[in-house]
Structure 1
Amino acid sequence: MLQLQSAFGVLALLAIAWACGENRPAVSLRQVAIGLAVTIITALVLLKLPPVAKAFGTINDAVGTIAAATRAGTSFVFGYLGGGALPFDLKAPGADFILAFQALPIVLVMSVLTTLLFYWRVLPPIVRGMAWLLERTLGVGGAVGLSAAANIFLGMVEAPLFIRPYLAQLTRSELFLVMTGGMAGIAGTVLVLYATFLAPLIPDAAAHFVIASVLGAPAAILISLIMVPETSDKRTGGSLRDPDMLASSTMDAITKGTAAGLELLLNIVAMLLVLVALVYLVNAILGLLPEIGGSKISLQRLLGLVMAPVCWLMGLPWPQAVTAGSLMGTKTVLNELIAYLDLSKLGTDALDPRSRLIMLYAMCGFANFASLGIMIGGLGTMAPDRREEINALGLKSIVSGTLATCLMGAVVGVMT
């Protein structure tokens, strides 16, 4: 019954995207059917074919190695604060874990590895191959197909660097597709970080994050073409180029990757500090209101009620939908990092294994208000002539990115 519920949710989420879209008569049912088929087939191949699943299982070993390497660096630099041997007896289990010194530095290592893989020309052929597949199967232009494929590995600002010369030429639908692709995925620099949090709760968590990143490309294209359909015969193509992040040497790549990772790390730390403080203040104000149902009103509780029906559509039992809805609300208003941290603290009584897996996919995207500011700033700088249109599509891209990740969650729910 839960699988049938998820199947109904797939259709319901597509209907919500259509209702929230513009120029509804222009939506191509043929393109929607092909997009849905590609999304489902991609999920089947990645999740159900034993050889593919086994190949993705090796990703967890790679993640463990990267985490161990990072721990070696943090323990050397920060001592016991970074995970080194404690100079005293530990009295409270878990009290020796310090997020900023032990987990978050993984972002630095992943930033360097990503930059090196681009400089060594390992990732660009993979990205181009994905772009070719998206262009042939979903009928999108080569430029936006490349940007969507690059979002599998890169963030919402880094991926459009691949097509920077073409941003001014994109149609409105193509521009929205680029924005939705950024909102419906996460960067490789944080993928390992999130997998580290959820590894104790979800088997092969790292593999599922990689699958979610790949699945996000066709899902984002599907949702974006429903919400802002293409009305022009023009498809932006052009020769595919490497992003401007490429360095002049291996050492230069390490230096640039470290600098970029440090900026990202500091932004994450600052945003976490500020957002957690703001949530505390909001909850303190809401706590002044009369209690409802024997408990105080909180932001998480309100968001849980709003997002609970969406979580039910993905295939979660209703008693668990409110808890899951709170996670989705936290992810949308704050960011996915805080939501994944909250998920990692939940016991099996709050969410069962199937529900936790669905939520891993549903929250695997940058669709939140803080990311919107980053995207508008980045794309506006790369395409100043389109700044007004980018601003106009901003809030809609949060909706489309959220619907795309929820669609992934529902598809996974059908298969589990």
Structure 2
Amino acid sequence: MKYLIALLGLLVVFALAFVASNNKNKIRYRPLIVMVILQIILGYVLLNTSAGALLIKGFSSVFEKLLTFAAEGVNFVFCGIVNEGSFTFFLNVLLPIVFISVLIGILQYTKILPIVIKYIGLVLSKVNGMGKLESYNAVASAILGQSEVFISVKKQIGLLPQQRLYTLCASAMSTVSMSIVGSYMTMIDPKYVVTALVLNLFGGFIISSILNPYTVSKEEDILDVHEDEKQSFFEMLGEYIMDGFKVAIIVAAMLIGFVALIALINGIFDGIFGISFQQFLGYIFAPFAFVMGVPWHEAVEAGSIMATKMVSNEFVAMLDLGKHTAMSAKAIGIVSVFLVSFANFSSIGIIAGAVKGLHEKQGNVVARFGLKLLYGATMVSLLSATIAGIFL
């Protein structure tokens, strides 16, 4: 039965993407089939094999260790503010972002990260049938983040047609930054974080290839990655430390605003209709939760968490998921995979603003297709969660 539901889920995702396609005649089906098969194989390996479990354990243990190191710095500054044994979200989840950001900066400075990103991207371009730039950008987005990634391709931003610009932005919204992966792992099971990261990478190509099909000529398929002006090692450290701190503060501010706003709206809905706003959205998202593989009796509950992520952000939704302790392991796993991406309304402004800062005209183009960007990124999350649901 679960395989029939998974098949239905895949058909629903592809149908929704196909209906919104801007050029149905240009869709190339062979790369799509290859990438879906790859997603299924990778989902099976990560969730159902000892090799996958070993890989996930190794990945999560690295971040667990990094978070331990980060805690040393946090404790040095904030020691005594928190009672021993208690948990403070800002200190334990957000501030470690600063340390992870520093490590990314070091890997960038030593040229290790750019080489890894470039060559993984080149390999992916052979599979997905897209350009080298799109493949590079997808890998870079998963490491650098949805706004920072555009700096590395800023030389080409002004030269890109709308179709290629959409794919770059869709990749950025469909993934998450490596600097906050450790924070996610403190809120949901690391295996779902790793699975989502891998599946979303291919899912972004799949959905973009349907929504926004195009071909790139050899003359256009040039990968020209921008390198920042040479800084001293300690200048770089200072920059990445401040960047990481800005991310932590921005996320904290957004959480305060969104959690309070949702509480207000829930109170209004409860007073007028007798149900919360999240429960109301849960009924709308319940059919999507069901075709992803969530049991029907939990679909409304799962749908409300999915909707929370879309209207606020993934942090708010992950905190909400942690309160639903009675949900089955299968439902929690599927919803967890769905939550690991930047697909929410606020990301439209973040991405449009990042591009606008580099090229004003292209930033306006991004703002115009912002809702379609969110639509596509949400389809990526639905696809990844549906694939994961087969093996949970």
Give the residue type in structure 1 aligned to 2:21.
G
Separation in 1 of the partners of 2:389 and 2:134? Answer: 29
For 1:218, the equivalent position in structure 2 comes to 202
TM-score w.r.t. length of structure 1 = 0.88
Separation in 1 of the partners of 2:219 and 2:314? Answer: 33
Counterparts in 2 of 1:130 and 1:47: CA distance versus 1, 3 Å: farther
Contact preservation (8 Å) 2:105, 2:237: yes
Q: 1:268 is matched with which residue: 243, 251, 259?
A: 251
For 1:23, the equivalent position in structure 2 comes to 23
Separation in 2 of the partners of 1:247 and 1:339? Answer: 40
Contact preservation (8 Å) 1:71, 1:82: no
Separation in 2 of the partners of 1:163 and 1:75? Answer: 37
TM-superposed CA distance for 1:225, in Å, is: 1.4
Separation in 1 of the partners of 2:95 and 2:66? Answer: 11
TM-superposed CA distance for 1:236, in Å, is: 3.7
For 2:261, the equivalent position in structure 1 comes to 278
TM-superposed CA distance for 1:299, in Å, is: 1.4
Contact preservation (8 Å) 2:352, 2:364: no
TM-superposed CA distance for 1:154, in Å, is: 2.0
Separation in 1 of the partners of 2:12 and 2:288? Answer: 9
Counterparts in 2 of 1:235 and 1:97: CA distance versus 1, 3 Å: farther
For 1:171, the equivalent position in structure 2 comes to 161
Structure 2 unaligned runs (5+)? none
Separation in 2 of the partners of 1:23 and 1:234? Answer: 21
Q: Write out aligned runs for 1:15-94 (5 A).
A: 15-48=15-48, 50-82=50-82, 85=84
Contact preservation (8 Å) 2:98, 2:245: yes
Q: 2:323 is matched with which residue: 345, 349, 374?
A: 345
For 2:351, the equivalent position in structure 1 comes to 375
Contact preservation (8 Å) 1:75, 1:81: no
Percent identity of equivalent pairs:
27
Separation in 1 of the partners of 2:195 and 2:116? Answer: 15
Q: Which segment drifts farther, 255-264 or 154-163? A: 154-163
Contact preservation (8 Å) 2:130, 2:215: no
Counterparts in 2 of 1:53 and 1:237: CA distance versus 1, 3 Å: farther
SS at match of 1:365: coil
Separation in 2 of the partners of 1:107 and 1:279? Answer: 25
TM-superposed CA distance for 1:271, in Å, is: 0.8
Looking at secondary structure, tell me which structure has more helix per residue: 2
Q: CA RMSD in A?
A: 2.1
Separation in 2 of the partners of 1:48 and 1:312? Answer: 22
SS at match of 1:360: helix
SS at match of 2:334: helix
TM-superposed CA distance for 1:46, in Å, is: 4.1
TM-superposed CA distance for 1:52, in Å, is: 4.7
Counterparts in 2 of 1:236 and 1:380: CA distance versus 1, 3 Å: farther
TM-superposed CA distance for 1:101, in Å, is: 2.4
Contact preservation (8 Å) 1:6, 1:411: yes
Contact preservation (8 Å) 1:144, 1:236: no
Counterparts in 2 of 1:100 and 1:363: CA distance versus 1, 3 Å: same
Give the residue type in structure 1 aligned to 2:361.
D
Contact preservation (8 Å) 1:38, 1:137: no
Is residue 387 of structure 2 the alignment partner of residue 411 of structure 1?
yes
Q: Write out aligned runs for 1:189-268 (5 A).
A: 189-198=179-188, 202=189, 205=190, 207-230=191-214, 233=217, 236-241=220-225, 243-244=227-228, 248-268=231-251
Counterparts in 2 of 1:282 and 1:234: CA distance versus 1, 3 Å: farther
Q: Deviations over 1:235-267 (max 9, x none)?
A: 7432442553x8623322321111101111111
Give the residue type in structure 2 aligned to 1:177.
T
SS at match of 1:229: coil
Separation in 2 of the partners of 1:253 and 1:48? Answer: 41
Q: 1:136 is matched with which residue: 126, 132, 135?
A: 126
Q: 1:159 is matched with which residue: 145, 149, 154?
A: 149
Counterparts in 2 of 1:51 and 1:242: CA distance versus 1, 3 Å: farther
Counterparts in 2 of 1:235 and 1:389: CA distance versus 1, 3 Å: farther
Q: 1:386 is matched with which residue: 339, 362, 382?
A: 362
TM-superposed CA distance for 1:337, in Å, is: 0.4
Counterparts in 2 of 1:300 and 1:234: CA distance versus 1, 3 Å: farther
Counterparts in 2 of 1:325 and 1:51: CA distance versus 1, 3 Å: same
Q: Which segment drifts farther, 303-312 or 33-42? A: 33-42
Counterparts in 2 of 1:234 and 1:176: CA distance versus 1, 3 Å: farther
Contact preservation (8 Å) 1:162, 1:241: yes
Separation in 1 of the partners of 2:295 and 2:47? Answer: 22
Separation in 1 of the partners of 2:200 and 2:160? Answer: 21
Q: Which segment drifts farther, 256-265 or 122-131? A: 122-131
Q: Which segment drifts farther, 62-71 or 109-118? A: 62-71
TM-superposed CA distance for 1:384, in Å, is: 2.2
Is residue 130 of structure 2 the alignment partner of residue 147 of structure 1?
no
Separation in 1 of the partners of 2:233 and 2:324? Answer: 42
The aligned length equals 392
Q: Deviations over 1:134-178 (max 9, x none)?
A: 211111111111101112212111122222211222232221111
Separation in 1 of the partners of 2:211 and 2:219? Answer: 18
Q: 1:304 is matched with which residue: 272, 275, 282?
A: 282
Counterparts in 2 of 1:386 and 1:407: CA distance versus 1, 3 Å: same
For 1:330, the equivalent position in structure 2 comes to 308
Separation in 1 of the partners of 2:142 and 2:197? Answer: 5
Contact preservation (8 Å) 1:132, 1:142: yes
Contact preservation (8 Å) 2:6, 2:390: yes
Give the residue type in structure 2 aligned to 1:380.
K
TM-superposed CA distance for 1:287, in Å, is: 2.7
Give the residue type in structure 2 aligned to 1:370.
S
Separation in 1 of the partners of 2:297 and 2:144? Answer: 36
Q: Which segment drifts farther, 185-194 or 19-28? A: 19-28
Give the residue type in structure 1 aligned to 2:146.
M
For 1:356, the equivalent position in structure 2 comes to 332
Separation in 1 of the partners of 2:128 and 2:236? Answer: 34
Separation in 2 of the partners of 1:384 and 1:79? Answer: 44
